[in-house]
Amino acid sequence: MTVDTTQLNRGRVFFGHSDTLWLFGYGSLIWKTEFAYHERRPAHIQGWARRFWQGSHDHRGTPDAPGRVVTLVESPGSTCHGMAYRIDTGTLGPLDVREKNGYLREQVMLHFAEGDHTEGLIYLATKENAAFLGDAPLDAMARQIAAAHGPSGSNRDYLLNLASALDDLGAEDRHVFELAARVKARQARQKK
């Protein structure tokens, strides 16, 4: 099921009258920016874990056959690595449309490799949104991801591009890497 959060997000303003703000990407925003930015830096947030628990009915799947994309779940002691972008506040409009299927703007503390930190913004899909799929066995998620395809391409490519981007960052994410390994193994079996 889809839910358009575009208008809700336009009212979720956390940074007053600032001309720029930091946006933290932890999924496709790491490797598929498609927006202008002033600066890009590897970063991480603490207390959150990346999970393929959000349904994608509009990008990597369809309403009848949703894909799975990442969201964040609270996880004390966990660290989620990604990419931070310093963007103009006007860039949020197109991002609100891109992230409209259940994601809401939220404020977080971003930590950079150099040791500095700042407040930033994430798009977060919680279990309260209609497109949330939640946890499932890894094999079941891998089957769904391997089969799903939507207007933005295959769900498989989303997963493998994310795994590659995290590897390039030197970031460990067992959930993503285990799913990627299972999807690759399925593909290898199908080619035999």
- Which residues are catalytically annotated? 99
The answer to whether the beta carbons of residues 82 and 43 sit under 8 Å apart is yes
- Amino acid, res. 161: N
- Six token digits for residue 153: 């391409």
Q: How far is CA 141 from the centre of its chain?
A: 16
- Per 3-state DSSP, the chain is made up of helix, strand and coil in percentages (nearest 5) of 30, 35, 30
Alpha carbon 105 to its chain centroid, in Å, reads: 12
Q: How big is the chain by its Cα radius of gyration, in Å?
A: 16
